Chain A
């Protein structure tokens, strides 16, 4: 029970650490710096459970075997990683990139009588969608711009990995 709660606590505290770093530093980031910074912070903060568990082990906070401590550290890293992933996929990602969320914001900024399609498209259109994403993808190195043409950067980027997993699920569903 003690090690169980300790593992959860360390995972949670590490995630709070990630959240603090993220909330403080991401205010000043431009869209092109987002993806790379996010990956860098997630990798850097993954070491936090290791440090915390190491410190707790030194303090002999719980009476447990070395195997339990090692497993506990691995699980704390897993919990912290999963919490970061859930935050990025379900909270930060949709806020930053969702077309639906942006449409809601634009409609909310309109008058109480509503907003026409023309007004909406004047504020947010396909050109905006392309420009913001190209900046982001070029900044992360997923796309390389050369002489006005765009080429694939990383062959195995997060988008392709995510799409590959989604394709497997889709294949199973459609079978």
Chain B
């Protein structure tokens, strides 16, 4: 259990450090890479700690149950989970917008919902993000994919074959 507690504490420390970093950050936008960097340092600390303290931590009592790799893997899995929630702090999804509109109005018509979604302008904001990230380029009023955008499109095509589902969106 000590391994789980150490991994849990390191994860809490990583999240706290990231939140403090976000408070101080001057550059606008998502600070996801910063969290990955912090999490990697924390994981290195965990690896070092568990290697150095193995003789103390390993045993047969409840506190020293041997779950070194399991705890490390749980830490790794918690990183994308936290990042998913963190992204939600900066972005609103269309489904959330629809749900909050319906909850706010109590009873909403299709036109009310469509107006709220249109007001948020999901297409233009996302398209501008894609242009800013370099996946999409706008040349003479025509949108086309850059090399990185074409890679993503290829991955999405492969995913469609594997998942066997429609185009999505």
Contacts and interface: CB of A to CB of B under 8 A. Distances in A.
Contacts of B130: 100, 103-104
B117 to A, nearest CB: 5
Given A96-B168, A104-B136, A124 B96 contact: no
A121 B123 contact: yes
A60 interface: no
Contact of B67 (A3, A134, A137, A149): A3
A12 B149 CA distance: 32
A154 to B, nearest CB: 10
Contacts of A116: 141-143
Nearest to A101: B156
Given A99-B126, A108-B150, A166-B89, A79 B65 contact: no
Q: What band does the interface of chain A fall in when counting residues whose beta carbon is under 8 Å from B? A: 35 or more
A23 interface: yes
Interface string A1-15: 101110110010000
Given A68-B65, A89-B84, A104 B152 contact: yes
A150 B113 contact: yes
B102 A129 contact: no
A10 to B, nearest CB: 10
Q: Considering residues A116, A132, A163, which has the most beta carbons from chain B within 10 angstroms of its beta carbon?
A: A163
B47 to A, nearest CB: 14
Given A100-B129, A105-B169, A169-B86, A130 B113 contact: yes
B14 to A, nearest CB: 13
A135 to B, nearest CB: 11
B99 A101 contact: no
Given A120-B143, A126-B117, A65 B95 contact: no
Interface in A76-125: 78-79, 82-83, 85-86, 89-92, 95-105, 107-108, 110, 112-117, 120-121, 124-125
Given A29-B165, A79-B70, A120-B123, 4 more contacts: A27-B165, A89-B80, A137-B99, A163-B100
Interface of A: 1, 3-5, 7-8, 11, 23, 26-27, 29, 65, 67-68, 71-72, 75, 78-79, 82-83, 85-86, 89-92, 95-105, 107-108, 110, 112-117, 120-121, 124-130, 132-134, 136-137, 142-143, 148-152, 157, 159-160, 162-163, 165-167, 169-170, 172-173, 175
28 contacts: A1-B66, A7-B67, A8-B73, A29-B165, A65-B60, A83-B77, A92-B163, A95-B165, A100-B130, A102-B168, A104-B145, A107-B143, A107-B149, A108-B149, A114-B139, A116-B141, A126-B122, A126-B123, A129-B94, A129-B169, A130-B98, A130-B113, A143-B98, A152-B102, A159-B95, A163-B88, A166-B86, A169-B89
